[in-house]
Amino acid sequence: MVRGSQDPSSGRCLIVGNYCHDVLIKDDVVIAESLGGAASFISSVLDGFSVSSIYVSKVGPDFGYCMNHRPIVSSSSSQTTLFHAHFSSEIKHQDRVLKRVTACDPIYPSDLPDSEFEFGLAVGVGGEILPETLGRMVEICKTVFVDIQALIRVFDPIDGTVGLVELKKTGFFHLLPRIGFLKASSEEAPYVDIMEATKWCCVVVTNGKEGCTVYRKDRKLQIAPFPTTQVDPTGAGDSFLGGLVAGLVHGLSVPEAALLGNLFGSLTVGQIGLSKFDSWQLQRVKDEILRRRLQSFGCQEKQAEDPNIMKTADLEMFHTALSAAKSVPAYSLQECKRDLPNSPRAKCSEQQRYLVHSVCEEPLKSVENKQ
């Protein structure tokens, strides 16, 4: 296999998780094909904030996209991880049914750089992260963020339908005390003992239109959402995690960073496939983050680990400012004309293909990623 040429010494963050091919199917008709995988959505956010990162992702020789962060090309016998997301227009408010069609090789500890990082993100979607790989991550990263889906997903051996198992029944549970942040959706949270997990790490549970909740030890803080209309839920939880990490890298408190995560989750569900963010919109957000950092310079409460110490009024002001930034006209997605992801004629500059209108015309049900 061939590793992408990246200098590990230049990365502040290590992101581990495979890129994927995503196919959206509505009423048995393919309506969109796109680059997928948590790492791809996270990179859209972190790159927008100029967060220096190293990505360790595996794909097969059939991979149909050119990336800023090049993946590892696995053996010729291993295809790129492929997911089919099925929607139905006949059943209102129906969530998508996600199926893994093919799975690329797992990521091994030996695939990780022999370097140290400030932050590490374990964001597998197709079972590619092994317990020993996560164990290596906690050794080389000061703070590790884990999307729980990377640990508790299981796949039907017949049709690949995605299911969940309790964290305690996996080979990852013993690593929980060494994890800094654990992110779960409201659907995934019942498979984790939240109260037990908060003894060792900060737990963030996303809940779609209700925003998210930050748990730390025996306390919790509700973080407000940003209203939006759902078009495609794919990748929203990944964008949330990207926003959370970007906020912490840029000096925000945990509640402020979670609020930033909510913003990017809401922006992602308004698009089909891989999210794109308007440059003016991003600049408005970055300007607001810088303004808050300057205002809070030297303030002790901004340095506290307890997320509940943040003043509610202060967080509400930040929410108002981010809402104003979001009101900037978003990136106008245009239809792309390209061949299927596995076609040798696929154009590297195009990240997705849209065949018809949006996947879901219903109001937002969840901005959480279930990919």
Which residues are 37's β-sheet partners? Answer: none
Tell me the three state secondary structure of residue 51.
coil
Dist CA 275 CA 263 (whole Å): 13
DSSP 54-93: EEE-EE-TT-----SSPPEE--TT-PPEEEEEEE-SSSTT
Q: What is the Cα 70 distance to its own chain's centre?
A: 18
Cα-Cα-Cα-Cα torsion 162, 240, 49, 289, nearest 10 degrees, comes to -170
**Catalytic entry in 47, 159, 238, 306:** 238
Active site residue 238: yes
> Cα-Cα-Cα-Cα dihedral of 349, 355, 357, 363, to 10°?
-70
Is residue 81 within 8 A of residue 128, CB to CB? The reply is yes
Strand partners, 35: 21
Instruction: Quote the DSSP letter at residue 110.
Output: G
Helices and strands (DSSP H and E) totals, the chain: 8, 17
- What six digits make up the tokens of 199? 């003894």
Structure tokens at 204: 């963030």
Q: Which one, of 247, 256, 238, 260, lies nearest residue 309 by Cα?
A: 256
User: What is the token pair recorded at 19?
Assistant: 């890129």
Which residues are catalytically annotated? 238
